[in-house]
Amino acid sequence: MFGALGGPRLLLRRLREVMVEPISPQARLDKIVVHIAANMVAEVCSVYVLRADGRLELSATEGLNREAVHLTTMRTGEGLVGLIAETAEPLALSDAQRHPAFSYRPETGEEIYSSFLGVPILRGGNTLGVLVVQNRAHRTYSEEEVEALQTTAMLLAEMIASGEVQSVVVPGSYIALRRPLALSGTPIADGVGLGHVVLHEPRIVVKQLVAEDIKRETERLDTAIEAMRQSIDRLIDSRVMGPGEHREVLETFRMFAHDRGWLRRLREAVTSGLTAEAAVERVQNDARAKLQRRTEPYLRERLHDLDDLANRLLHQLTGQSYVTSHEDLPANAIVVARTMGPAALLEYDRTKLRGLVLEDGSAGSHVAIVARALGIAAIGGVSNIIDFVEPGDAIIVDATTGDVHVRPPHDVERAYAEKARMRARRQEQYRKFRDVPTVTRDGTRIDLGMNAGLLVDLQHVEETGASSIGLFRTEFQFMLAERFPRMREQEALYRAALEQISGKPITFRTLDIGSDKHLPYMTKIDEENPALGWRAIRIGLDRPGLLRMQLRGLLHAGAGHRLRIMFPMIATVEEFEQAKALVEREIAHLRRHGRALPHHLELGVMVEVPSLLWQLDEICPRVDFLSVGSNDLVQYLYAADRENKRISDRYDVLSAPILRALKFIVDKAQAARKPVTLCGEIGGRPLEAMALLAIGFRSLSMSAASIGPVKAMVLATDLARLEPFVAELIAESHGSSSLREKLRRFAEEHTIPV
């Protein structure tokens, strides 16, 4: 029974007042327990804070011996308080000392108290501490009292999450939420980034916990639930959704949105006096706490569904955006997300972005390619990182090893700051031989081009000494725009690119969208296998107006210049002929109107679809050059989705089957006397690049950051020794086992930096 002070609503109001008083954290906690004890007519109220070492520290009490504060601790699972922390569930007992988990602590003086009510202090399903009230008399706590204490615990969770309580615990200890964490994932874009966490999908911070009008809050909740259901229905029932497994997943998601148990708990939480937002947070906290402690994969997957539903509901209630505001991006930002497409990454201010951490994402994903193009350290596959970080947390991303340090200790931070300085010094060393010809030790010239997609990238051509732009990804302009770029806008970009690189060759790849690279202003087509679906040249040929507009922009911009145009995802000779016919049609149009033309026009194809390997004899006479897109070619040869982290690292590009396929392309191009460049990601890794030189490639294109390390490798390589060694390796290899370690040993023995 609540006291005369007015029940839980008045209690929460008073606690809110305490939260904003200009007093020390300890004084704040002391006042909070006094108010709770008085309001709930309890002789004891205590707050235990969970530390990083797994111990619960008595941090404030009203009724127990004050000298026990910061002295009494217990392990998670030990005693009644430890049991609550372990199970994340409330515990109400009329005779606490008879419970088998009861642990007697003489310094507290609690032996005179019989009844016990304790609730976990939860945030995001994680236990931050335990809140307890006790009475001398044997009494049964009502459900209303349990609810009230759980609601009060939500407010304490805010205080702990803010970091204020860190100054209260024993010196040298960390509270669990603020403890340093060392996590690991898979490097997807090389580099080291030091900065502060920015959540790509910001959490909704519920500031108003107590409902002023329960009826109104119930109506708000019901309205938001209906709006959320309708948005899910529209997504599933839209015509672009075909049949398949993805539809079944979304149908399961819709079923959760109609789950009676979930909806009942939400309404009960509002009836107890919470606002609609606080009710959603409270129910989701409880659900997360339970499901996180289960090991069944199915239930863990359901946790993601419930998280998504709760977030959708909170966004409906608050009207807040699903993604963070890019205008408020702090300097040295490290973006943390569950997953992200390449277009979303491009929307961030690259001058402030230092790193990217994803729960999902592989080295072959398009977002990884964009991160490498932007020079951003990125790591994928970091499980549950969203649950462990708060906006503004200090974080270090080491994308050379895959390590992520959250709230790092000062010594770790100093060590990484030095590592970042060493990387900068190494890049400076690479710049010193920028103007040194890229020639092997035995005199073979190698062309090292640069991959780009934005005008700002082109400044690196001069910095790195790149011989060309081997791949200009024109889709970046489309992905950044709010609407389809007009022909004049496209022309302006292409002209600026041609003029900025001072006559060096630049190869423009026509629009390569589809798969995970969709444009925000175009209807997204959901496909069973998007990597094998309607994308790149297939879209261009099916929507010739789109491709013709781009070709016209390129031809206008290329007037008086050497212009190289490359078509992606060509699977048949006929597709190239159709694309070439569109170019010829645009040239005829320009001639009719007396417009200037490029002084030299070259058309090429990207070899990335395996079917083209068996048409090289037919297509080589028709094209001016070939470019090998090793990223897609490798995934298609192994039928291993590079976006799928379970299998993306299952096969090694440095295995005989891949090297044989690549050598086959080189041999065919050389026989037809057609230049061939490899512009996939493997060309930018020194060891892989060394193998490519050995099988005949003399032109590679890569990210700007890769040119220095690859050039250092080239200058130290003697092809006369390397070529026969690799040829013998490939010939003797059986199956698809990796040749990586043998190649690495060769490099070490011959002092080749890889």
Query: Torsions phi, psi of 125, nearest 5?
Result: 80, -5
DSSP three-state, residue 372: helix
Alpha helices in 620-737 (DSSP H): 630-638, 656-671, 686-694, 704-715, 719-732
Angle between helices 740-749 and 719-732 (to 10 degrees): 160
**687 closest CA partner among 719, 721, 710:** 710
Query: SS3 of 167, please?
Result: helix
Instruction: Let me know if 268 is exposed, middle or buried by CB neighbors in 10 A (0-12, 13-18, 19+).
Output: middle
Report d(CA 210, CA 278) in Å as an integer: 8
| Residue 286, token pair as written in the block | 């409880």
Residue 70, C-beta contacts closer than 8 angstroms, at least 6 positions apart: 57, 58, 59, 168, 169, 170
* AA letter at 339: T
H/E run at residue 17: helix 7-20
- Alpha-carbon distance of 334 to 398, in angstroms, equals 12
Three-class DSSP category at 24:
coil
620 a catalytic residue: no
**How many angstroms separate the CA atoms of 404 and 384, rounded?**
12
Alpha helix positions (H), 672-736? 686-694, 704-715, 719-732
Phi/psi of residue 527, each to 5°? -125, 155
- Residues 747 and 506 sit within 8 Å (Cβ to Cβ): no
How many CB atoms neighbour CB 386 within 10 A? Answer: 19
Q: Label residue 737 exposed, middle or buried (CB < 10 Å: 0-12, 13-18, 19+).
A: exposed
Answer left, alpha or beta for residue 248, where phi above 0 means left and psi between -120 and 50 means alpha: alpha
Identity of residue 660: R
- Take residue 663 and report the two structure tokens written for it: 């050598």
Tell me if residue 182 falls in helix, strand or coil: strand
Report the candidate in 265, 188, 255, 209 with the shortest Cα–Cα distance to residue 11. Answer: 209
Residue tagged active-site, from 200, 366, 405, 518: 366
| Cα–Cα distance for residue pair 608/232, rounded to 1 Å | 37
Q: How many CB atoms lie within 10 A of CB 212?
A: 10
Residue 530's Cβ-side half-sphere holds a number of Cα atoms within 13 Å equal to 19
Helix (H, G, I), strand (E, B), or coil: what is residue 406? Answer: strand
**Burial zone of 130 (CB within 10 Å; 0-12 exposed, 13-18 middle, 19+ buried):** buried
Q: Is 679 marked active-site?
A: yes
**DSSP H helices in 501-572:** 537-542, 544-557
Measured CA to CA, the distance from residue 556 to residue 22 in angstroms comes to: 66
Q: How long, in residues, is the chain?
A: 754
Structure tokens belonging to residue 697: 């490639």
Specify the residue for token string 């008399």: 137
Task: Cite the active site residues.
Answer: 366, 679
